[in-house]
Amino acid sequence: MELKNFTYLILLIASIAAPLALSFDKKVQYYKKLKFILPAILFTASIFWVWDVQFTAAKVWSFNPEYTIGLNLIGMPIEEWLFFIVVPYCCVFIYEVLKVYFGKYNYDKPFRILSLFLIVGFVLISFLYRQQKYTFLTFLFSAIDLSYTVFRNKFRSHFTGFYFAYFISLIPFMVVNGILTSLPVVEYNSAHILNIRIFNIPVEDFSYLFLMLLMAITIYERLKEARYY
C-alpha cells in the first residue's frame, strides 16, 4: 500500500480535526449537544448511504482505488461511508459556532424569499434535466425538503443560521471536494450530470451539500426543541 492510498482518509481526518478539537470550546460547548447532533447526523447519513450505494451500483459515480485504503463495504470504500459522518459533523459545528457568535443577526424574511426562489429553481432544473439521474434526484430532493421546511413554518428562526452555515461550509467543501474530483478520487459518469463544474466539482454536488446540511440541521433543531431525552 502506498501513501496515496490514504488520500481520501487523510482528507477526512484533516476536515474533522479542527471541529473535534474545538468541540470543547467553553463558549460553544459543542460536545454538550452531541446527544442531539449524533442522531441527526446518523439519520441523515443513513439516507445518503442508501443513495450512495445505489448510485455506485448504477455507475453514476465510481471511486479510484489508487486513493483509498482498499476496505470496501457494499461496493463503496470505507472512506465514503465516513464522509457522511464527517461532513455533517463539521457543517453542524460551523452552524453552532455562528449561532453563538452571530446569533443576534436574523434575516428571516430575505432568506425565506431566497428559499422560495431556490425551490422553483430546483424544481425547474430537476424537470428539465430529468434524464440525468444525479441532476434530477439531487435537485428534486432539495426542492422537496426545502419546501417542507419552509411551509412547515417551524424553522424560520433558524434560516439565517442555516444559510450562513451553508455559505461558510462551501469554503472547506470546495477545497476537499476540489481535491476529490481533481485527482480524481471520485469519478462521475458524464451521462448523469450537467457537466457544469466549479473548481472541477459538478454543480450537483453543491445541491447535494445543501440537502445534506438542511436535513441534518432541521432534524437537530427538532430534536432539541422536542426534548425527547
pLDDT string in tens for the chain (229-residue length): 788 999 999 999 999 998 888 888 888 888 888 999 999 999 999 999 999 999 999 999 999 999 999 999 999 999 999 999 999 999 999 999 998 888 777 888 889 899 999 999 999 999 999 999 999 999 999 999 999 999 887 888 889 999 999 999 999 999 999 999 999 999 999 999 999 999 999 999 999 999 999 999 999 999 988 766 5
Rounded-to-integer distance, Cα 189 and Cα 195, Å: 9
3-state secondary structure of 149: helix
- At 229 the pLDDT is 57
- At 20 the pLDDT is 86
Task: Tell me, rounded to whole angstroms, the distance of Cα 172 from its chain centroid.
Answer: 12
CB 165 within 8 A of CB 91: yes
- The residues, any chain, with a CB within 8 Å of residue 184's CB and separated by 6 or more, are 64, 200
Q: Which residues are 197's β-sheet partners?
A: 202
- What are the start-end ranges of the H helices in 103-202? 108-128, 133-152, 159-182
| pTM higher than the cut 0.75 | yes
- Burial of 171: CB neighbours in 10 Å, binned 0-12, 13-18, 19+: exposed
DSSP assignment of 47-92 equals HHHHHHHHHHHTTSEEE-GGGS-S-EETTEEHHHHHHHHHHHHHHH
Closest CA to 98 of 37, 155, 163, 165: 165
- At 212 the pLDDT is 97
Closest CA to 161 of 87, 229, 227, 214: 214
- At 155 the pLDDT is 85
Rounded-to-integer distance, Cα 96 and Cα 188, Å: 33
- The residues, any chain, with a CB within 8 Å of residue 21's CB and separated by 6 or more, are none
Rounded-to-integer distance, Cα 214 and Cα 196, Å: 23
DSSP designation for 193: S
